[in-house]
Copies of this chain bind each other. A is one copy, B any other.
Amino acid sequence: MRVITWDDIVAARARIAPYIAATPLRSYAPLDAELGGGIRVLVKHENHLPTNAFKARNAMSVMTALSAEQRARGVIAATRGNHGAGLAWAGQTLGVPVVICVPHGNNPEKNAAMRGFGAELVEVGKDYDEAAQHAARLAAERGLHVAHSTNDRHVIAGAGTLWAEVFEQASPDAIVVAVGGGSQAVGAIVARRERALPIFGVQAANASAIHDSWHAKQRLTTARADTFADGLATRATYDATWPALRDGLAGFVAVSEDALASAIRMLIRTTHNLAEGAGAAGLAGLVALRDQLAGKTVAIVLSGSNIDSATLKSLM
């Protein structure tokens, strides 16, 4: 039993269509030449979305599925980055109040972006878990809808809309997709429907809980998630995405911090687009799978460009 069906993606697409234009799917000869192996890379430009990240789809899908009463009361989430910016943007667009709880010391550029889209930003707790506990209390006190970044069928259907676009734009032989919580990968698994299309997952080797679980065929957690690719910094599997990932992926690779940094530099050099760590993870995974996918047309997602300046400076 899948958490969502193709019909859910079609419905999400109809809901978000007034607010989100289709993003381009492009190929770059210099990227193909550098990657080698006769691979043709199709790059889905989710960095063109209003928050520079595919999470804008997920958030708008959630927000447009709320009842009028829920919208009037508002939405809350604990998040450190793109999920929060997506919710803040969707809330600003639709006139829904949004509260975001972030731990003390969260990245100031991400905080500025969330505040910039009109969210009430609550800096609370020493880490994500404490911020999430505070969010749960605030939600109960104020009657706010809690928007989880992954365990929500509307989130996954929102991510699926990017693949619905891809399959109208081209017919790739394979897909390599970054896994943070897994919404993007499960969206791909559902959107491929009856196509014989292998989908490969990618995680950071330093935050490999879902990768490790997939290879062990059982749900595992990791004690730490020490990757600069904060969009991938998860330590566990998620109820809503684990079964589909377990059964639906053709393979799962883990990539080093150096490989993620190298993929960011390769995207800048060959496509002149900025990417954050999670946004370049699809390419990093494709580099790892280069021999296996030689000669194929492979779709990856440039899923976000919200890299902070200090990180960009250090990896250039």
Contact = CB atoms under 8 A, between A and B. Distances in A.
B272 A115 contact: no
Contact of A50 (B26, B115, B307): B26
Contacts of A308: 269
A155 B86 CA distance: 38
Interface string A4-38: 00000000000000000100101011100100000
Interface in A283-316: 305-309, 312-313, 316
Contacts of A21: 21
Given A30-B112, A273-B305, A309-B316, 5 more contacts: A28-B116, A45-B48, A268-B274, A269-B308, A316-B316
A157 interface: no
A309 B116 contact: no
A30 B309 contact: no
A120 to B, nearest CB: 14
A30 B316 contact: no
B116 A29 contact: yes
Given A52-B272, A316-B316, A115 B309 contact: no
Contacts of A268: 274, 309, 312
Interface residues of A, number: 34
A51 to B, nearest CB: 9
Interface string A105-124: 00001001101110000000
Shortest beta-carbon contacts, A-B, top 6: A29-B116, A30-B112, A313-B316, A274-B274, A269-B309, A272-B306
A306 B273 CA distance: 8
B29 A272 contact: no
Contacts of A276: 272
Interface string A85-99: 000000000000000
A30 B305 contact: no
